């Protein structure tokens, strides 16, 4: 059976600070990130698996501090002779090693900041530049926690609110306890649930029906 999924158009405030759901642990990370004047060194690494908020935090830091946000491909096209200001490199484990080394030197000399996000601990990066390896090992590393049920419920609440849907807290708790604990999973579920509801009220009965139907469809696809 072929399952057709609804399209989920990217919303303009997707990576805003207001749309970033936090628990106590993530709020501590955000407080550190947005107060670079208190950092011991100008470098900071945010490490965590997919769905822990690294890219969102990178956008928030860039917006709040005026730092330039770079994707891995951007680092390979960066003019290393004209660096200026602070930088954020998303998915830094696959970025240009030469660019990372020069960015590290730049912020060290100028008093600016460099934030790297990564899915892998820097100690397991297979870097070819020995000087970069030593720099990475000296940088402060913050490990992002995986979402717990409370945080996942908060994420779901924000995602539903973007669609002008307001499930009860009990309904959100019921849903968050039954799906994969990741932001991408929450985004996918909200999109599919909106399509499944087709105007019906968002309650536990609707969610139970959706989850049972989804399990049946996936079982059919495996036949």
Pair (88, 116) in one structural domain: yes
Residues 6+ apart with CB under 8 A from 131: 101
Strand (E) or helix (H) holding 221: helix 204-221
* Structural domain boundaries, residue 54: 24-143
CATH number of the domain residue 174 falls in:
1.10.8.60
The encoded tokens of residue 137 equal: 């090992």
Q: Supply φ then ψ for residue 83, to 5 degrees.
A: -70, 145
The encoded tokens of residue 64 equal: 């709040």
pTM over 0.95: no
User: Residue 46 CA to chain centroid, in angstroms?
Assistant: 10
Domain count, the chain: 2
pLDDT tens, 157-201?
888 888 888 889 899 888 988 888 777 778 888 989 988 888 888
Pair (108, 157) in one structural domain: no
Assign 16 to helix, strand or coil.
coil
pLDDT tens, 67-125?
999 999 999 999 999 999 999 999 999 999 999 999 999 999 999 999 999 999 999 99
């Amino acid at each position: 059976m072929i399952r057709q999924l609804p399209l989920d158009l990217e919303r303009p405030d997707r990576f805003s600070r207001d749309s970033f759901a936090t628990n106590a642990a993530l709020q501590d990370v955000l407080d550190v990130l947005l107060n670079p004047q208190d950092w011991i060194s100008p470098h900071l690494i945010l490490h965590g698996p997919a769905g822990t908020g690294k890219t969102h935090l990178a956008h928030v830091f860039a917006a709040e501090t005026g730092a330039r946000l770079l994707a891995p491909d951007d680092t390979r096209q960066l003019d290393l002779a004209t660096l200026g200001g602070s930088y954020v490199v998303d998915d830094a484990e696959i970025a240009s090693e030469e660019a990372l080394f020069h960015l590290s030197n730049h912020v060290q000399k100028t008093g600016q900041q460099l934030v790297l996000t990564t899915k892998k601990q820097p100690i397991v990066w297979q870097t070819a530049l020995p000087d970069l390896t030593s720099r990475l090992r000296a940088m402060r590393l913050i490990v992002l926690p995986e979402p717990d049920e409370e945080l996942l419920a908060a994420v779901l609440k924000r995602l539903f609110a973007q669609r002008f849907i307001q499930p009860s807290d009990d309904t959100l708790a019921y849903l968050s306890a039954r799906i994969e604990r990741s932001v991408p999973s929450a985004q996918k579920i909200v999109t599919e649930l909106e399509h499944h509801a087709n105007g019906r009220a968002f309650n536990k009965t609707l969610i139970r029906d959706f989850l049972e139907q989804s399990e049946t469809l996936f079982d059919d696809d495996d036949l």
